Amino acid sequence: MKFMKLGSRPDTFYTSEAVRSVSSEVSSDLIIQVKGSRYLLHKFPLLSKCLRLQKLCAESPESSLHQIVQLPDFPGGLEAFELCAKFCYGITITLSAHNIVSARCAAEYLQMTEDVEKGNLIYKLEVFFSSCILHGWRDTIVTLQSTKAFPWSEELGITSKCIEVIASKVLIHPSKVNLSHSHSRRLKDDTSCNGVDSQRHKQATRGWWAEDVAELNIDLYWRTMIAIKSHGKVPSNLIGDALKVYASKWLPSISRNDFVDVSDSDSDKANELSAKHRLLLESLISLLPAEKGSASCSFLLKLLKAANILSASPASKMELARRVGVQLEEAMVIDLLIPSLSYTTQMVYDVDIVMTIIEHFMLQWQSPSTSPPRSRIGFERRRSRSAENIDFELQESRRSSSASHSSKLKVAKLVDRYLQEVARDVNLPLSKFTSIAESVPEFARLDHDDLYKAIDIYLKAHPNMGKSERKRLCRILDCKKLSVEACMHAAQNELLPLRVVVQVLFFEQARATMAGSKVAELPSNIKALLAAHNIDPSKPPAPLSTTTSVQADDQQSISGLKSPKSKLSTLQMKLAEDDYLNENDMHPDGMSRPSKFKAFCSLPTRPKRIFSKLWFTNRSIMEKN
């Protein structure tokens, strides 16, 4: 750190009875009061360099011995005043980045200009500031940080000059900049033994300025980052990394209880601290670059978690949710577990904000093209000009479609695992659970094992669910997409509705038959449960048998399934109607409907195709025998 010394005389200031004086053969004739402190000094050296003191002495009446001058609003305090006074006496003073701002404001207040005397203090400070302070990286940072205590530094242009210098130096290689000691040592440690920079060292070198700039308070940091971004030469990912460094340094590791269990005596202090952190957080959000991937998804979710705890503005939360949604495929389940601090609900996690994130993720792939259709002439002209451009656009479109599909597959896995975590919350409503599960497209779930596990956890955490609620919960499950292990677990799961157990058993039996393997023996408790409802899982579903007897009101639906033009929607409609029956599945006249349960609830999504394969397999085996 650079410094400058002015003056050559030794320091002769001393304190006697709470009064600061200077040793001299000449008696003092001036008393200056600065913020409650008294200085017993001499007019001649002070008034010869300070125009303000000349004016004040001319305006104030003289006493018999000492003339008194009041300086109640002196900038910089006693230290700055004493530094200016020593300069007037020719006493040696040392100037550096730590005190140059206070000295410059004090000299401006006392009007120590060239008009009063050549080579006055303001001139010397300006030369030192421009030729030394602004040429050093570390000196500029320290000087800028010290300006926050002196409003005069804004009028003098010190703050803006420091910010511009910092913004212009962030692209310079750190070898050409005087870095802080800790950062220089870290870069040295990251260098490999053979003298070649490691990959980590290269990455740290690119963002060498982030940690030094992070020492600034949020107001100065915000202005500095705006200046850096305005140059347009710093990559957006480096801006995001710098924001992460600042947040790690100044945002605390906040847990849920930090703002819940606050004593009355500390409530004002806690509110003040919370407001400070909230301002810091919202300032960081406003600095986030617009480009996708400029900040990691994990970092964005941590900011969102802090925004929830600190009660940030809804606009800040929505902005973070939108940014997370754009790159949701990069998220981890633990980052999505955002604590809920709402007074209207007792839920552990904020599932509403996660639902908003998922919606933003889905919306980015659904934006319709707004370009008008090209005329044939225009199309031919473009093709004649450059046919390769069209092929390139087609390849880019395919890549985008492939990336979209891959992202949705990852998000589907992420959502199912997230549901497994939040399903343990006893206060999580069924509607919110199903809404999150249904927000993922059906094609994105290649299997339903993780979804089944989430449903099983939810059923165990909510043992008092009614039959209709359990049916509504299990409607989001596709039994055909369960693995063998999941089917074995589901077949013995007493919490599942009976219709789901029957579907699982039938699909597993169909799968085993198609594979030519022997169907495993059912557990005794499942056999007893099925026998109580007159269900034989070893037989094909009733609608595909011409000898099956059904009730008259079901004949139309059964015949529809036999028709080659039958649609899946008809079957789904019948199953939906069955869900709205009462708890005993009774007709209005009191008659039970076991035959209808077997006819519709046991069917897979495409029954005719599966059973045609089964019949073909059985027929081939019989012909061989």
- What pTM was computed for the model? 0.75
> Which pLDDT belongs to residue 625?
41
Identify the band that residue 232 occupies on the pLDDT scale cut at 50, 70 and 90: confident
> Which pLDDT belongs to residue 182?
45
SS3 251: coil
User: What's the rounded mean pLDDT across residues 357-361?
Assistant: 96
**Minimum mean pLDDT range among 95-104, 197-206, 250-259:** 197-206
Domain closes at, from 455, 473, 491: 473
Is residue 138 domain-shared with residue 47, that is, in the same domain?
yes
Identify the band that residue 179 occupies on the pLDDT scale cut at 50, 70 and 90: low
The number of distinct structural domains making up the chain is 4
**Minimum mean pLDDT range among 360-364, 427-431, 530-534:** 530-534
Q: Are 20 and 14 in contact (CB under 8 A)?
A: yes
Is residue 432 domain-shared with residue 353, that is, in the same domain?
yes
> Which pLDDT belongs to residue 191?
42
The answer as to whether 371 is a domain residue is: no
Q: Which residue has the higher pLDDT, 425 or 610?
A: 425
Q: How many helices (H) and strands (E) does the chain have?
A: 30, 7
Q: Which residue has the higher pLDDT, 343 or 105?
A: 105
Is residue 55 domain-shared with residue 125, that is, in the same domain?
yes
Q: Are 490 and 496 in contact (CB under 8 A)?
A: yes
Is residue 12 domain-shared with residue 139, that is, in the same domain?
yes
Is residue 85 domain-shared with residue 215, that is, in the same domain?
no
In 10 A of CB 502, how many CB atoms?
25
Is residue 294 domain-shared with residue 332, that is, in the same domain?
no
The answer as to whether 241 is a domain residue is: yes
Looking at the DSSP bridge assignments, the partners of residue 14 are 21
**Exposure of 586 in the CB half-sphere (CA atoms within 13 A):** 7
> Which pLDDT belongs to residue 4?
96
The answer as to whether 28 is a domain residue is: yes
Is residue 491 domain-shared with residue 513, that is, in the same domain?
yes
Identify the band that residue 271 occupies on the pLDDT scale cut at 50, 70 and 90: confident
> What digits encode the pLDDT tens for the residues 404-438?
889 999 999 999 999 999 999 999 999 999 999 99
Rg (CA), the chain: 39
Structure-derived torsion over alpha carbons of residues 81, 86, 89, 90, reported in degrees to the nearest 10 = -140
Is residue 135 domain-shared with residue 223, that is, in the same domain?
no
The answer as to whether 555 is a domain residue is: no
> Which pLDDT belongs to residue 571?
35
Per-residue pLDDT at 598 exceeds 70: no
Q: What is the extent of the structural domain holding 466?
A: 327-366+403-473
